[in-house]
Chains A and B, each alone.
Chain A
Amino acid sequence: KAGVTQTPRYLIKTRGQQVTLSCSPISGHRSVSWYQQTPGQGLQFLFEYFSETQRNKGNFPGRFSGRQFSNSRSEMNVSTLELGDSALYLCASSGSGSSYEQYFGPGTRLTVT
C-alpha cells in the first residue's frame, strides 16, 4: 500500500506570496491532519479534515487554510507569507478521525525569504 505523499518536497517563496501544498493520504484513509514543524517546537497542529469537513483547527492565523477533496486528497494554503512561516509542513492520514496512530508523509520544506 502506498504511503502518504506530499508535493512539492521543497519550496522557496518570498514574503507576501502565497503557497499551496498538497497531500495524498494512504488509500482508504479519510482523515488528513496538517502540522507545522520548526526546530525546537515539535509539531504544531494546524487542522484536521475528515470526509471533506474541517473537524478541528489549531491556533494559527487565518492566513492558513485548507480543504479536502472527495478523494480525500488535501491541500493547505498559506497566504501573505511571512519569514516565520519557514518550516517543514507535514500531513498525516489515518483511517478515522479519532485514530491515535497517524501515518506521516515526508513533508514539504518551505523556505520564505
Chain B
Amino acid sequence: GQSLEQPSEVTAVEGAIVQINCTYQTSGFYGLSWYQQHDGGAPTFLSYNALDGLEETGRFSSFLSRSDSYGYLLLQELQMKDSASYFCAVRAGYFSGGYNKLIFGAGTRLAVHP
C-alpha cells in the first residue's frame, strides 16, 4: 500500500522556526511536494523535491531523503499568517508520463501564537 505520515498538529510562536516531518511508503516514488491550505481556502503549492537535499524558497525550505523515505518542511521567522494546514504529497506510481498520481498526507495543522 501507499501511506504518508505527518504530525496532526504543531504549535509555535511568532518569529520561531518550525519543522513539519513527513514519512512515506509508496511504490514508484517520483517526488515530494508540500501544500498549504488556510481554513476555508484551497490548497496552494509550496515546494517540490525530486532529489535528496534542501530546497529553499524564501522563509520556507523543504528537505528530502529518498533513502530514508523522509522529508520535512521548515518554516522560519513564523508569522501569524502562516497558521494553516500543511500537506505533504507524494507523486507515486509505476509509470511516467502522467500515469501516476499525487497522494496526500492527512495534513499538519500549524498554529502560530503571538
Contacts and interface: CB of A to CB of B under 8 A. Distances in A.
Which one of B30, B48, B104 has the greatest number of beta carbons of chain A within 10 Å?
Answer: B104
A101 B42 contact: no
Interface string B72-114: 0000000000000001010101001111111111110000000
Contact of B105 (A42, A50, A104): A42
A42 B45 contact: no
A104 B104 contact: no
B7 interface: no
Interface string A75-102: 0000000000000001010001110111
Interface residues of B, number: 27
Interface of B: 8, 30-31, 33, 41-45, 48, 50, 87, 89, 91, 93, 96-107
Interface of A: 4, 31, 33, 35, 40-45, 48, 50, 55-56, 58, 90, 92, 96-98, 100-107
Given A42-B106, A92-B43, A107-B42, 16 more contacts: A4-B42, A31-B98, A33-B101, A35-B104, A42-B107, A50-B98, A55-B99, A56-B93, A56-B98, A56-B99, A96-B98, A100-B89, A100-B102, A102-B45, A102-B102, A106-B41
